[in-house]
Amino acid sequence: SSLQYLYTDFWLYLLLLYIILYNGGLVLFSFITTGGIQSEFYKVAVRGCFLGLTFGIGYLISCSHTTLNHFGWYLMGLSFFHFSEYLTTAATNPSSLTLDSYLLDHSREYKMAAVASWLEFFVEWYIAPGLKQYFYLSVCGVLLVLFGESLRKASMITASTNFNHYVQYVKRPGHQLVTKGVYSWCRHPSYVGWFYWSIGTQLILCNPFCLIAYTIVSWRFFRERIYEEEIYLLNFFGEDYLDYQKSVGTGLPFIVGYTGYSAL
């Protein structure tokens, strides 16, 4: 059986027990010291420990000699992405830090896309496990995930307090136009990173249908998001942003952003 290794290798159970106890201990500590489940600290701790548990389970699966090991890679990439979103925000822009900085409740569509990728993976794995064992394809996915993750986090660190997870409709005091570092390569490096990260996750899973769907849906989402965001950026920064538009592209294929005269 392709799952026999998971059933019979007891060191996996020991590691899993350690992960559960460690993360469970953190949750219990936060519960006791911060006044219960309604405290903000507890809610943050629960989500952080959940992501740590998911990463640990992903690591165990990736170490297994089964046809599910690439799903372990995926779990590690997914959990690290969400945890690092919160951690990077806390380090670079703490004034904007909220529970939503984990991006776990990003949108209904995001959750549906994740569930769809899991369903495709396990249906295809059940029918033909060998379809999920294209090693070099999954490695390409890992490299794309690492590239996207690195670019997105570099953009957050470079922008620092000027970065926000949501489109800003009113210019905040101290909000500056950032054009250095990765922003000298493209106008929206955080979106570029997320776009290629999402594609990479489906390459890891060897999901042909979701690979196509993720590419199309993500591209459309970022096209509309960039168009909307640049309307406000032009209002905030005027000629400075217009000059920036002329010299630096969006970073995403066939997306030009808001030009003031073209439609979506």
**What is residue 51's predicted lDDT score, i.e. its pLDDT?**
93
Q: Is the pLDDT of residue 94 over 70?
A: yes
Q: How many CB atoms lie within 10 A of CB 140?
A: 14
Q: Is the pLDDT of residue 138 over 60?
A: yes
The pLDDT of 67-88, averaged and rounded, is 97
The amino acid sitting at 199 is I
Least confident of 33-42, 54-63, 117-126, 136-145: 33-42
The pLDDT of 40-60, averaged and rounded, is 87
Pick the CATH number of 106-264 from 3.40.640.10, 3.30.70.260, 1.20.120.1630, 3.20.20.80: 1.20.120.1630
CB within 8 A of 102, min separation 6: which ones? 47, 48, 51, 82, 83, 85, 86
Q: How many CB atoms lie within 10 A of CB 254?
A: 7
Task: Assign 262 a pLDDT band (cuts: 50, 70, 90).
Answer: very low
d(CA 126, CA 3): 12
**What is residue 264's predicted lDDT score, i.e. its pLDDT?**
37
